[in-house]
């Protein structure tokens, strides 16, 4: 199903609600506007398999562009709005976008972008005239509101966050069906596991250009619920939104939990959260103590997923299971898990290795990078894929992640997993954010380094560094404790909650 289904059944029902203003886009409006934009794209020469890119903040119109692409057999590529003009140009060029839609705010923040993207046939700007762009609203007004007879389902062509290198496009095959076909398999799994239906009110505090918000909000639209979009995350504002909009389902990353847990008790308890039935989280590791405190606060409504933009597979775990298996990200909802050594040999239960997911057919390619595609496949099984996560399976088939392969520190020949150190520091009252990674060491190969963003009002310096090191020595093996702690006003973390450790490590060259 798709918004057109519910435009016919419940035309006046909210499809998108902006959490700050309460502005509503109904299913009838979403359907008609996406139909009109689909005609605009077709008139500009876009055909199934072509790409439409979007550069916009969290706004309701985001979903018009998304559904226009998906009902036209096009690939939809949302672009991280925080990227520089050269980085945006790279993505638009690399994906081969034939149309580029931008919001007025983004057009003003990226001057000269149309001139940098001559391969784009159609440049559209929302929110008023912009140099080099056609007017989005005028184009929609002139287009037909009648849907085409042929509406092939498109797909997303997402770009990785680039935490370990240049972003790469993740290109799945087009599904080869009409937009009004049955719910897609992944959406069906989520609907059945989490109870999405027409009564769902889903809070999205995360950036819409990221894979998970796209997938989960799209699932809500495929089942007739309402998506409540926050323009940006703020801990107390998120709690207010749950209360005001009577939110039933939500999506989070662990850094959001930490921010909410660090609110004063009176502000945390000031909001009625009784409508809240399911809080889903993923995208980054959640420290055990953080999750335990969230369950104590919100009750057993936390559900965790482990997946990737590549769509290899998904694991799920609810609160009751997690309390029996603290730290696990669950068992497969689809895909078969294998843990292998560097040579590809499958490892016994409990041993740490590279996590592969087996599928009937390998589900994606890295756009314009066949070498990276091949490196993501198992050396002997082409239908087993990995995104570089390291972990182990227990005797009951539950997956536990230890880190990303690219972030493992090898010091004196011993593997050290930064995630364990970060988890241990996450709830220290003086720590707002933390990153742990390896830096060059002449004797040991690498040494453990921590960079900490102190909490508001906490002075950084040698005294705090010593306190944090002593705190860790009481909680983890001494060889895992950082040799030193540096401080930063803010850490380079994407809005999706992922640390961009490459940017931090670049500040510690071999001569350091």
Record the tokens describing residue 27, joined without a space.
């299913």
Q: Is the pLDDT of residue 9 over 60?
A: yes
What is the pLDDT, as a whole number, of residue 363? Answer: 84
pLDDT of residue 495: 64
Categorize the per-residue pLDDT at 416 as very low, low, confident or very high, splitting at 50, 70 and 90.
confident
pLDDT over 50 (residue 164): no
- Which of 436, 457, 449, 419 shows the shortest CA–CA distance to 262? 457
| Residue 397 near residue 333, CB atoms below 8 Å | no
pLDDT on residue 512: 40
Whether residue 332 has pLDDT greater than 80: yes
458, with CB counted inside 10 A (0-12, 13-18, 19+), is middle
- Residue 183 predicted with pLDDT over 60: no
Return d(Cα 420, Cα 412) in angstroms, integer: 18
Q: What is the pTM of this model?
A: 0.82
Read off the pLDDT of each residue in 194-202 and give the average, rounded to a whole number: 92
The Cβ-side half-sphere exposure at 220, using a 13 Å CA radius, reads 28
* CB-based contact 101:54 (threshold 8 Å): yes
- pLDDT over 90 (residue 498): no
Q: Per-residue pLDDT averaged across 455-471, rounded? A: 94
SS3 state at 14: strand
- Summarised one tens digit per residue, pLDDT across range 286-306 is 888 889 999 999 999 999 999
- State the average pLDDT over residues 23-41: 98
Q: What is the mean pLDDT of residues 116-140?
A: 95
Which has more confidence, 144 or 414? Answer: 144
Q: Which tokens belong to 490?
A: 């803010």
Would the pLDDT of 410 be above 90? no
If you average pLDDT over every residue of the chain, what do you get?
Answer: 90
Contact 75, 171 (CB under 8 A): yes
Mean pLDDT calculated for residue range 211-219: 90
CA distance 433 to 454: 7
Instruction: Go through the domains of the chain in sequence order and give each one's CATH number.
Output: 27-150 (3.40.50.980), 332-407 (2.30.38.10), 414-505 (3.30.300.30)
d(Cα 257, Cα 41) in Å, to the nearest integer?
A: 40
Q: What are the tokens at 323? A: 């309390």
The average pLDDT across 213-226 equals 92
pLDDT at residue number 82: 82
> Chain centroid to CA 496: how far?
5
- Residue 303: predicted pLDDT: 96
Q: What is the pLDDT of residue 24?
A: 98
- What tens digit of pLDDT does each residue of 41-91 get? 999 999 999 999 999 999 999 999 999 999 999 999 999 888 889 889 999
């Amino acid at each position: 199903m798709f918004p057109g289904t519910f435009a016919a059944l419940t035309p006046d029902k909210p499809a998108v609600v902006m959490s700050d203003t309460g502005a509503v886009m109904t299913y009838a409006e979403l359907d008609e506007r996406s139909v009109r934009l689909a005609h605009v794209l077709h008139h500009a020469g876009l055909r199934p398999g072509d790409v439409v890119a979007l550069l916009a903040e969290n706004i309701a119109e985001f979903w018009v562009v998304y559904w226009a692409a998906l009902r036209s057999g096009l690939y939809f590529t949302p672009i991280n709005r925080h990227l520089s003009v050269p980085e945006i140009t790279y993505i638009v060029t690399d994906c081969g976008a034939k149309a580029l839609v931008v919001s007025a705010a983004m057009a003003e923040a990226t001057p000269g972008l149309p001139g940098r993207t001559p391969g784009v046939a159609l440049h559209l700007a929302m929110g008023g005239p912009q140099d080099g762009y056609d007017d989005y609203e005028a184009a929609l007004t002139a287009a037909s509101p009648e849907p085409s007879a042929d509406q092939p389902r498109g797909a997303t062509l997402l770009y990785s966050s680039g935490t370990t290198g240049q972003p790469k496009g993740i290109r799945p095959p087009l599904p080869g069906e009409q937009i009004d076909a049955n719910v897609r398999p992944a959406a069906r799994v989520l609907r059945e596991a989490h109870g999405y239906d027409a009564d769902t009110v889903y809070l999205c505090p995360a950036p819409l250009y990221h894979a998970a918000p796209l997938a989960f909000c799209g699932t809500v639209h495929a089942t007739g619920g309402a998506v409540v979009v926050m323009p940006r995350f703020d801990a107390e504002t998120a709690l207010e939104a749950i209360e005001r909009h009577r939110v039933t389902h939500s999506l989070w990353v662990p850094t959001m939990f930490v921010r909410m847990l660090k609110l004063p008790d009176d502000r945390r308890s000031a909001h009625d959260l009784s409508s809240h039935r399911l809080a889903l989280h993923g995208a980054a590791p959640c420290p055990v103590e953080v999750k335990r405190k969230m369950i104590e606060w919100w009750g057993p409504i936390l559900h965790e997923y482990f997946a990737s933009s590549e769509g290899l597979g998904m694991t799920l775990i609810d609160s009751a299971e997690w309390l029996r298996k603290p730290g696990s990200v669950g068992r497969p909802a689809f895909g078969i898990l294998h843990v292998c050594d560097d040579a590809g040999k499958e490892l016994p239960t409990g041993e740490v290795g590279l996590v592969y997911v087996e599928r009937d057919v390998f589900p994606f390619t890295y756009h314009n990078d066949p070498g990276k595609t091949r490196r993501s496949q198992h050396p002997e099984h082409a239908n087993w894929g990995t995104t570089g996560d390291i972990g182990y399976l227990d005797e009951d088939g539950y997956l536990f992640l230890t880190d990303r392969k690219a972030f493992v520190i090898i010091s004196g020949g011993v593997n050290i997993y930064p995630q364990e150190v970060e988890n241990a520091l996450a709830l220290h009252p003086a720590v707002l954010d933390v990153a742990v990674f390896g830096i060059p060491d002449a004797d040991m190969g690498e040494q453990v380094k921590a960079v900490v963003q102190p909490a508001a009002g906490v002075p950084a310096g040698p005294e705090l560094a010593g306190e944090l090191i002593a705190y860790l020595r009481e909680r983890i093996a001494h060889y895992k404790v950082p040799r030193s702690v540096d401080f930063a006003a803010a850490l380079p973390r994407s809005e999706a909650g992922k640390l961009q450790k490459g940017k931090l490590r670049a500040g510690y060259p071999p001569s350091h």
